[in-house]
Chains A and B, each alone.
Chain A
Amino acid sequence: MERDFTKKKVRWIERGMEGLLFAAAAAAIAIVLGIVYVVVSESTKFFAQVSVIEFLTSTTWTPLFDNPQYGIAPLLTGTFMSTLVALAVAVPLGLLVAIYLSEFAGARTRETIKPTLELLAAVPTVVYGYFALLFVTPLLQSWLRPFGVELPSFNLLSAGIVMGLMIIPYIASLSEDAMRAVPRSMREGSYAMGATRLETAFRVVVPAAVSGVVGAVILGMSRAIGETMIVVVAGGQLPQMVTHPAQQGATVTAFIAQVALGDLPFGTLEYNSIFAAGLALLVLTLMFNFVAFWLQRRYREAY
């Protein structure tokens, strides 16, 4: 017969600690449910007064005007445009850095550059906002003026570029991890066939690490979609259908922050519009998280 010789007090501590640890872990579920609950329940109040069809199809977003219109499209175009600019900056630069560090640079260079580059992700976003508004925008204005392009002082282009610089470390660091996880033997096989390092990188390593690379890009993308302060400070707060990056425009996040900065009372339709915008943001990011997760499963290369 098995007997438990553990002291009674110790046994209680055991059980108590396990319960406590579980409660802490379960908090993660509670937070997710809390976010979903608040956003969905407050949006429901919004959609009781505004039709979902108008929300999805109207191309005017003017909740704070006398004759309010609630079409999410302008905010979405703002978000997509700034994200697109950010990705156009971050994907090529991030992948170049990742391939360079993983396939070409020596161990010492890599160990120095990688953490230093990660500091870029640690800079507070409001500082980036300042940088975009007061450094990048004037610089771009002086560069573009000779070409006859007059860049407004609030624009999604500089907000997007700075956002792109911010997410370089996400993309570079995670892609590099994925590339380094590709076994050495695969590279050596390629070298033995006479391929150069560059050919090996693009034909062997990158294809083998594609799930990690795509995951990294999507993570960077969802960072850009959810970024608030850079676009609030530098992107302008005018919700309009954005067709090119040199325009000013409001993103979903910028609108939410703008309303919070004003003094609208909680519970009004105008105030509730931020929860509807928040719901759009939540759906968007969860969708990308899910796609990244699925891609990583689907294309995971096991060695």
Chain B
Amino acid sequence: MAALDVQRSRDLTAHPPGLALRRFKDSAFIIWGIIATIIGLGTLVTLVTDLVHDGGHRLTLAFFSSFPSSEPAQAGILSAWVGSLLVIFTTALFAIPIGIMAGIYLEEYAPKNPLTSAIEIAVNNLAGVPSILFGLMAVGIFVQFLGNPNRWFSFLPEGFREAGAHLFGQSILTAGITLSLLILPVVIVATREAVRSVPREMRQGALAVGATKWQTTQHHVLPYALPGVVTGVIIGISRALGETAPLIMIGGLTFVAFLPITRPGDAAFETIGVLDEYGAAVDPSATEMVTIHHSGVVVLPDFTERAVTAGETIELPHGSTVQSVADWGDALASWNPGHWLGQEFTVMPIQMFNWTSRPQAEFLELAAGAGIVLLAITLLMNGTAIYLRYRLRKSIKW
């Protein structure tokens, strides 16, 4: 009887040997998986907490409206955030149209030939090239080559060369173009995926009623691909915003106490004549007739000062500086891209890096403050992109 019971229970639990252990391993693995996930997510939380703990108290209004300073208590990120804004604007201006057009070409137009595969290989490889190499390329092409038009383009008229020397070199334009090349693969890949997901029937419908290929693309494919494209653009821009290394390469400054655009009330300086690298006139004996636009003070090369009034035309030796206060007209005029694109710059990540590399604790607090701002912007942008992607997946069912 007892033997029969044992036999029956063996049949009922006819498990292969060691099953309990195998099941235990199975559950134990889940714990490992959760631990690994928590380490990843915990890093993010720790990072944010650490920054807020170190620099949260620096986030006052004055922090955003002050220039960097050797006096930590008065230092802020004004020139850094304005610089970042202008650089990112320039980046977007190049990266968005070129990236979207390239994506459309590869998905809708490209014939299957060696040239197309070469483009695809180039895009894939660009995505894996370290950002600092983009910086090296920018030094060679935008700073040294295009930034020295007198050396390389002596055949061009002088006006062109002057404009070239002003716009390229260590300027906002150079920074913007460099970052746009860096994020191009991100925008291209996102555009391709978005365009590919538009069903073929949409195109066929348009083509069947006589639309041309571009009309089909413009009116039927692009609008449906747009949310996907926007997601890619946001991710690309947020990457550009946090990039430091390529901008250090092209000479982003670490200490900038001026703005590329003028505010009304700012002091404005205009120096007369051609100067050497120490700020003295190349030809001290030369003079120039100058019409004064704003009342202010002229500082002559021997440091004597003289008051001038608007409308006056006087002869000034080279090396003199006209100092005045900018009015609203000057401020508006400085928004002209021809003015600010050629200015030297700093950006938020460079400012943060500069503060991080100083030993004093106060500067490290400033670095943390700048880090919070950077982190908040990039996480917000990526969060938006993720939300958009999520909405997209939910709302469109082909």
Contact = CB atoms under 8 A, between A and B. Distances in A.
B101 A24 contact: yes
A32 B119 CA distance: 10
Contacts of B331: none
Interface stretch (A68-76, A118-126, A179-187): A118-126
A6 B144 CA distance: 48
A25 B110 contact: yes
B130 A285 contact: yes
A260 interface: yes
Contacts of A123: 44, 47, 242, 375, 378-379
What's the dominant secondary structure at chain B's contact region? helix
A2 interface: no
B378 to A, nearest CB: 5
A231 to B, nearest CB: 10
A130 B349 CA distance: 11
A260 B249 contact: yes
Nearest to B364: A134
A25 B139 contact: no
B133 interface: yes
Contacts of B272: none
Interface stretch (A56-64, A91-99, A141-149, A242-250): A91-99
Contacts of B375: 123-124, 127
Interface stretch (A46-54, A203-211, A222-230): A222-230
Contact of A233 (B35, B105, B130, B356): B356
A253 B47 CA distance: 24
A227 to B, nearest CB: 7
Interface of B: 16, 22-23, 25-26, 29-30, 32-37, 39-41, 43-44, 46-47, 50-51, 54, 97-99, 101-102, 104-106, 109-110, 118-119, 122-126, 128-137, 139-141, 143-144, 181, 184-185, 188, 212-215, 235, 238-239, 241-245, 248-249, 251, 254, 349, 352-353, 356-357, 364, 367-368, 371, 374-375, 378-379, 381-383, 386, 389-390
Interface of A: 6, 10, 13-14, 17-18, 20-22, 24-29, 31-32, 34-35, 37-39, 41-42, 92-94, 96-97, 99-101, 104-105, 111, 113, 115-120, 122-131, 133-135, 165, 168-169, 172, 194, 196-199, 201, 219, 222, 225-229, 232-233, 253, 256-257, 260-261, 266, 274-275, 278, 281-282, 285-286, 288-289, 293
